[in-house]
Amino acid sequence: MRRSIVSTMTGVILAASLTPGIPSVTHAKGASPVVLSPILAVTRPLSQPGVARVRLTHPSSAFIVLYVDGTAQGYTGANLRARPSMSASIILLIPNGAAVRVTPQPIREADKSAWYSATYNGRQGYVLASLLRAQSPSARSTTIATRAAAISQTASYRGVSFVYDRALATSARGQLVPPYQDSGYPYPASLQITLAGYPLPIPNYDMPQITVYNVADLVRTMPVIGSRDITTLRALLQRRPDLSTVPYLPGLPVLSNPILHAKGSYVSFHNGTGIRYIGYWANAMGAIAPDSIYYTFQGLTNDGQDYVCALLPADASVLHHAPTLLTRKQYNDFDAHYGAYIAAMTQRLNDLPDARYLPHLGTMDDLVTSLTVHPSLGTASTLSFYVKSTAGTTGANLRAAPSLQAPILLIIPNGTEVQASASPVRGSNGQLWYKVSYQGAAGYVLASLLSRVGVAP
């Protein structure tokens, strides 16, 4: 989440830097736009510096969520086409059970066929209206069972595995992330699995991910925030209060408290348990955009060794509530009653059926409950590497010191996975070396002969 700095000058509110998922901002001709929040822009005519109007201009200001169902026609899904025509080129096949975002009213063609303008997996096109239907909350259990039997698949990476619906993602890829800093805050090493082909358009910094931290590394690297969130989560799981009454919920890897949380519940996975909720974070006051909320899971394994978190972007059409234009007085009223506004939006999200979220809350819950977490993370100071397969060689020399003149302790065969220091050292000749442990021996290997264990096949 990026930070915002809000200041006031001559009655005009300014904001520097924006939160992720910023929409486009439009303004009247002859007016200078002043960005206020992710979905608010103050515009003032150049000739009237004391007058300001606020325009809400989120690009997805009108849509509904429908579900593909071609079973009655014997289809496995619905084609997303480039134009509202059966002769138009097919962009992709949307499987039965998948949620798609469509315009409220279909388009009727000359041949009497009806089509919805639709968005799926970040692609836009048209879907035949007869292949879409509303999803009733009572049908959820049947729908999930059908999805699991027909189009689910398993992701597995270094001891972490889960089952996910292909309506949620087309694939999942894992990597070991070394320790790093973000905006001055240190993060420990982690195991991260990213979902690809997600049903919402996602910026790179908000990719849908499942992240696993070693608890000891988390506390050591983030002694204040890490300890706070772990202690809070343990207390919640032990006492199990109604989550709607809890003012603070942990939200790693986000470091701050969500401005609102809704749909809170306790969810268990194969070897652990945790909490899930819909959360909203922001750096400046503003109306909540429908696609700025996140399905959030925070959990601990039963042995207390690993912290599991999931942050999956979500969308809720119920948040399409704000008028398109606010006067300065209306905005000041909004500012004065922001707490009541947040409470009202929280209630709307709590009242919204699971099937009205995109993706379906049940689909995301199914992923979490299927988790098995026995990660191979090492420690925050070590990473995993493969010895590169180099032409004309059988492996890499493990040397007693970071030097080509140092004695060779043994040869590590090409393709072997080894544990190495997270940071390389520079030898006397300027070359980089990693300190490596292999078969009980510790020494140094040239950095150019090692490749990070990263993307899973």
d(CA 52, CA 14): 12
- Mapped onto helix, strand or coil, the DSSP state of residue 295 is strand
pTM to 2 decimal places: 0.57
CB under 8 Å, gap of 24 or more: what pairs does 401-407 form? 401/443, 401/444, 402/426, 402/427, 402/428, 402/431, 402/433, 402/444, 403/427, 403/428, 403/429, 403/444, 404/429, 404/431, 406/444
pLDDT at 357 over 80: yes
- Which amino acid would we find at residue 290? P
Three-class secondary structure assignment of 199-244: CCCCCHHHCCEEEEEEHHHHHHHCCCHHHHHHHHHHHHHHHCCCHH
The per-residue DSSP string of 404-446 comes to TTSPEEEEEETT-EEEEESS-EE-TTS-EEEEEEETTEEEEEE
Q: Closest Cα partner for 135 from 389, 422, 368, 353?
A: 353
pLDDT per position as a tens digit, 274-315:
999 999 988 777 778 777 899 999 999 998 889 999 999 998
pLDDT per position as a tens digit, 25-67:
333 333 333 333 333 333 333 233 333 333 333 333 456 778 8
The percentage of the chain sitting over the pLDDT mark of 90, rounded to a whole number, equals: 29
Q: Closest Cα partner for 272 from 380, 152, 376, 374?
A: 374
Q: Closest Cα partner for 137 from 352, 370, 346?
A: 352
Q: Closest Cα partner for 252 from 315, 198, 210?
A: 210
pLDDT per position as a tens digit, 85-125:
888 898 988 888 788 888 878 888 877 788 999 888 778 89
